[in-house]
Amino acid sequence: MYDVQKSISTDSSRFMDQFRILIRSRHYAYKTEKTYCYWVCSFIRFHHYKHPEKMGNAEIEAFLQHLSVTMQVAGNTQKTALNAIIFMYREFLKVDIQGLKFKYATKPRQLPTVFTHLEAQSVINNLSGNYKLCAQLMYGCGLRISETTRLRLKDIDFGMNCIVVHETKGDKSRRTLLPNALLQPLKLQLETSLLGHKVDLARGFGSVYLPGALARKYSNAAFEPAWQYLFPAIALSVDPRTNISRRHHISEQSVQRKVKQAITKLNIMKKASCHTFRHSFATRLLEAGTDLRNIQELLGHSDISTTQIYLHVVGLHERGIVSPVDG
């Protein structure tokens, strides 16, 4: 399934269609669009489909209070909902919302779950093919699942010995490590992707989705090898915006499902997922004495406080602390 925007007629009079058009005009990531639309729809449904123009501070406060007290969401979740609603009012309806009074969600932030090195390797070794290489990239490079599946052939820079990550959270780009252990598997996967691309071209297909305005700016880029996905999907699918049959990338859900099956099979009693590999990457680097700023850069965190949470994850024994019972 495509993780790109479906086309919307600019003539549509529907509230949510016009709201989506505004978000796209600001060039926000599609995940941001989906998140904002989800919370705005939730806000409207909570007030029994009352039009936002007929609501104000009291209704916003009631919804935020509901999230905090009834739903017991985390503080960041409540902030995301608030950001979406404020964006709708200020940017879309041109209504300035001020002086909100509500109870902030105080659900404590949980420490991230981390694999031991043995656990991470065991999960990886229980996978095969593209799923195994995806897990190796998440653990060896600190990539998110979305960043892994969207890698394009041009993003693997063997000359500079790094991976350039685009289409990231916050629409930022960054460089991360290219592990020596993955050089040969990546070269083999690159050749496999190129071979499949040649077959698609011979069949009259071979184009790929390009982000932003690249497709209009470079009309032939969609057919060029460099822009093809490193992990192409098994079958062609129809782009919902253009109705063109293209080969998209492997789905995030398929990788998540395989990783979850491996975790269950190994009887790892942790609330773990694909993202646990990214947490484990940061923790291993911290244990090895890597500077926190370097870890922040590799992970693409805009705020160092986000990276600092891994200081609480590193084992107490790594800091030389010994229990009195063992003294």
Instruction: Indicate if 144 belongs to the active site.
Output: yes
Determine the Cα–Cα distance for residues 286 and 289; give it in Å rounded to an integer: 5
Annotated active-site residue in 36, 89, 229, 310: 310
Instruction: Indicate if 258 belongs to the active site.
Output: no
Provide the β-strand partners of residue 107.
74
Instruction: Indicate if 169 belongs to the active site.
Output: yes
Determine the Cα–Cα distance for residues 287 and 310; give it in Å rounded to an integer: 10
| Phi, then psi, of 37 in degrees rounded to 5 | -65, -35
Instruction: Indicate if 278 belongs to the active site.
Output: yes
- Residue keyed to tokens 């496999």: 192
Instruction: Of 104, 17, 101, give the one whose Cα is nearest residue 56.
Output: 101
Instruction: Indicate if 301 belongs to the active site.
Output: yes
Determine the Cα–Cα distance for residues 121 and 127; give it in Å rounded to an integer: 10
Determine the Cα–Cα distance for residues 64 and 102; give it in Å rounded to an integer: 7
Annotated active-site residue in 144, 150, 246, 248: 144
Give the SS3 label for residue 141: helix
Determine the Cα–Cα distance for residues 258 and 273; give it in Å rounded to an integer: 10
Instruction: State the DSSP string of 187-215.
Output: HHHHHHHHHHHHHHHHTT-------TTHH
Instruction: Confirm if 17 and 28 have CB atoms less than 8 A apart.
Output: no
Residues with catalytic annotation?
144, 169, 275, 278, 301, 310
